[in-house]
Amino acid sequence: MIRAVFVAAALLLLISAPKSLGQTLLPLSATHYATFVSVLTWVLALFLVREINAGLNRWADNKWIWKGDDSNWDWKNEVAIVTGGSNGIGAMVVKKLLSHGIRVAVLDVAPFSDKYQNGNVKYYKCDITSRVQVHEAAETIRSDLGQPSILINNAGIGNANTILEMTPERLRKIFDVNLLSHWITVQEFLPQMILMKKGHIMSTASLAAFVGLAGMTDYACTKAGLMAFHEGLTQELKHRYKCPQIKTSIVYPNWTRTRLTSAIEKDILNSMGSTIMDAKDVADIMVKHIISAKSGQLILGPSIVTIIRALPAWLQEIIRDRMAQIVTVNATTAVA
């Protein structure tokens, strides 16, 4: 928007000023001066089209609601569920939520750090792939903290194996944690949100949803599936449950520095000038979006990734080939 305003101001100055003054400001011949003004006009038009497109995208992502409405949210009385909240991005999300006075329930199989413990956060050891454990934890949360209005499905694991190396047990585990658990948590917490006509469900995906790489096929599949889950959930809330008030968001982080990327960090940094995000920065963006009371998609990386599949096949394959050597280790929980 700033660029469009700057170009518009420059164009207005050149058009409104006497031609003699304009040519003084820009010492060009009459022909070159006219060409410059014409080019500037086209640049402004492109900027305006881009801004209009971005605005329409935000409107669509927000269920055709033009702006966020936080009037129905009292953050000090809201309860958030964060899966996988003991480490990495999840732990940073918990910390950010607490800074807004939101009460937080952490669901994780890993122990929760004592440094974040206070009266507004409670840890529940829970395997989110178990419907029974999730329901038991949910009942305890409702008793301890109140009815949850925010669900952040953040838990995720990764493998670093080729398709032939992948064992059935590890394959089932990554799909259970990264994708199928979303059905369990949403089925547990969404019904009450519908009754309240208020809620926010956020899913943590990855830019891997847009491109499959050697050594992480299983991970990319779960994140692509999560994209479809988010789209379907959004549609059902609008057209089946008539409840567009419930916000739905999906986050696509780029490579993020957590314990999951430690084994391949050097390979990431050596690939096509890739960078690694800090978990704190990812969490900050996620929580700011929650506080904005809007639905949406958060692309945390090169925007070109989202349009890779619209590119010619040869160009898509060049991009994938350039990143094929990032995940070459053989390990579990090696990618984020």
Q: Which sequence positions are flagged as catalytic?
A: 219, 223
Residue 229 phi/psi, 5° resolution? -60, -45
Q: Which residues contact 311 (CB under 8 A, 6 or more apart)?
A: 319
The DSSP secondary-structure symbol of 123 reads: E
For strand 103-108 and strand 79-83, is the pairing parallel, antiparallel, or unpaired? parallel
- 245 CB burial (10 A radius; 0-12, 13-18, 19+): middle
Q: Which residues contact 257 (CB under 8 A, 6 or more apart)?
A: 265, 276, 277, 278, 279
Tell me how many degrees the CA angle 4-10-16 measures, rounded to the nearest 5: 125
Residue positions counted in the chain: 336
Residue with tokens 């590890």: 170
Q: What angle separates helix 217-239 from helix 181-196, to the nearest 10 degrees? A: 20
Q: Which residues contact 236 (CB under 8 A, 6 or more apart)?
A: none
